[in-house]
Amino acid sequence: MAQLKEIKSRIQSVRSTQKITSAMMMISSARLVKTQRLIQNLYPYEQTLYRMLQLLADQEESIDSPFLQTRTVKRVAIVAFSSNTGLAGRFNDDIAEKLKRIVANYMPLGKENILLYPIGEKVAKAVRNMGFKLQGDYNAISESPLYYNAQQIAEKLMEMYQKGEIDHVELIYHHFLTKGSQVIINEPLLPIEPKIPDGEKFAPSYIVEPDRKTILTQLIPKILKVKFYTAHLDSVTSEHAARMTAMRIATDNADDLSEELTLEYNKLRQQSITNELLDLVGGSFDSH
């Protein structure tokens, strides 16, 4: 009987856990629909802005912008995006491992010349464990990507780059492909390196008003801010997808475990009933 009670308690515990994982799966699914719609609308806008930069970046004429100036890297800033909470499979662990590898490559610069900007508690914890100082607390904005917040951080990095306080800025984040597939992207934010597609030049038929320099002066900072915002939104979208997948797997596993325990419970219960019947029959014969 004690074993039956133990199995029954385990079944109830598994079913309670299953309710939680199922609810989390549905919540993540609803959030994913929202952020997926945003990111899918944002991708074409970002690509169009960058395409404009490519068209204006005529190789026959130099572009005078501090954000296009490549220089020897003596001080680097790395921005890594994660979530504040877990239960999302390998989502946060993969970001932490990628960050460690990239930081290791820059260690010859010295720890004081590697500035880490963690967006999310999980990667912030990884930064602390690595023995680095956090360049700000951005946990509050991690789960709700807003253009205003992205603009503030991007402007700060742009200002530092202009002043020569940093020579390179990198982003580390998850890129959303499908609900079941997200990949880690590591790409530079600064400096921008516009590349003209093979066989294509800036078309002389384009009329640029008021002038090319004025447009680039406004376009380049806009591209940087939108790129930062896109990376943040991409990361959050990937997080919801990863958590939804993890919770679906956990729910399915709980369902399988519940079935196994129920089957075991029924077998033991049947065996217990059989034993009781045998005891009754045996007692009846003994009385005669």
Paired tokens of 43 = 């991708």
The stretch 24-39 carries a mean pLDDT of 94
Q: Given the DSSP bridges, would you call strands 114-119 and 76-81 parallel, antiparallel or unpaired?
A: parallel
Helix or strand run (H / E) with residue 123: helix 121-129
Please state, as a whole number, how many other Cβ atoms lie within 10 Å of the Cβ of residue 199: 5
Least confident range from 186-195, 198-207, 222-231: namely 198-207
Higher-pLDDT residue of 208, 123: 123
pLDDT average, residue stretch 22-48: 93
d(C-alpha 192, C-alpha 225), whole Å: 12
pLDDT: is 186 or 204 the higher one? 186
Q: Rounded to an integer, what distance in angstroms lies between the CA atom of residue 133 and that of residue 136?
A: 9
Lowest mean pLDDT across 54-58, 179-183, 213-217: 54-58
Angle between helices 121-129 and 91-106 (to 10 degrees): 40
d(CA 173, CA 73): 22
Average pLDDT over residues 236-256: 93
52 pLDDT band, cuts 50/70/90, is confident
Average pLDDT over residues 87-111: 95
pLDDT reported for residue 205? 59
What DSSP line would sit under 35-56, residue for residue?
A: HHHHHHHHHHHHHHHHHHHHHH
How far apart CA 145 and CA 226 sit, in angstroms, is 12
pLDDT of residue 285: 52
Ordered structural domains, the chain, with CATH:
32-246 (3.40.1380.10)
Q: What percent of the chain has pLDDT over 90?
A: 60
Coil, strand or helix at 133: coil
Average model confidence (pLDDT) for the chain?
88
In which order are the strands placed within the sheet that holds 114-119?
114-119, 76-81, 168-178, 181-190
The pLDDT tens digits for 253-274 are 988 888 888 888 788 778 877 8
Of 155, 90, 152, 83, the C-alpha closest to 122 is: 83
Say what the pTM is.
Answer: 0.85
Which is nearest to 137 in space by CA: 152, 157, 117?
117
| CA atoms lying within 13 Å on the CB side of residue 230 | 20
Checking if the pLDDT of 204 tops 60, the result is no
**CA–CA distances in Å: residue 49 to residues 157, 190, 236:** 20, 16, 22
Q: Give yes or no for residue 86 having a pLDDT over 70.
A: yes
Q: What is the pLDDT of residues 132-169, one digit of tens each?
A: 999 999 999 999 999 999 999 999 999 999 999 999 99
Tokens read off for 105: 């490559």
Higher pLDDT, 43 or 56: 43
For residue 197, the model assigns a pLDDT of: 47
